[in-house]
């Protein structure tokens, strides 16, 4: 006899999928910010010169933080989906 709390094995967890999708977004955003911090493009305000390295350290820090958040979201989403299927 099935209780109401049981769900079918094939049903995917929406929160797990949204966590993975958000992780993908954060990972891509983190890569963009990190690569801008590592390889800055010349700005029209600096007349062809790239900004000094110490001004780009917050970009590098933010990129690493976004990538760490993305990894945590990947693990959380995968755990939720795995827990739902078992």
Instruction: Write the pLDDT tens digit of every residue in 9-61.
Output: 556 678 888 899 999 999 999 999 888 888 776 655 555 566 666 677 888 89
Distance, CA of 68 to CA of 65 (rounded, Å)? 5
**pTM, 2 dp:** 0.70
Q: Which residue in 66, 79, 63 sits closest to 20, CA to CA?
A: 79
Residue 3 in any domain: the answer is no
Write out the two tokens for 70.
């993305």
Question: What total of structural domains would you count in the chain?
Answer: 1
Write out the residue range of the structural domain in which residue 61 sits.
14-41+50-85
- Position 5 in a domain: no
pLDDT for position 5: 60
């Amino acid at each position: 006899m099935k209780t109401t709390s049981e769900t079918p094995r094939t049903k995917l967890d929406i929160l797990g999928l949204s966590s993975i999708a958000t992780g993908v977004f954060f990972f891509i955003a983190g890569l963009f910010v990190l690569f801008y911090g590592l390889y800055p493009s010349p700005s029209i305000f600096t007349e062809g010169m790239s900004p000094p390295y110490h001004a780009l350290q917050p970009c590098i820090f933010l990129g690493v933080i976004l990538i760490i958040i993305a990894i945590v979201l990947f693990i959380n989403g995968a755990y939720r989906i795995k827990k739902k299927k078992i």
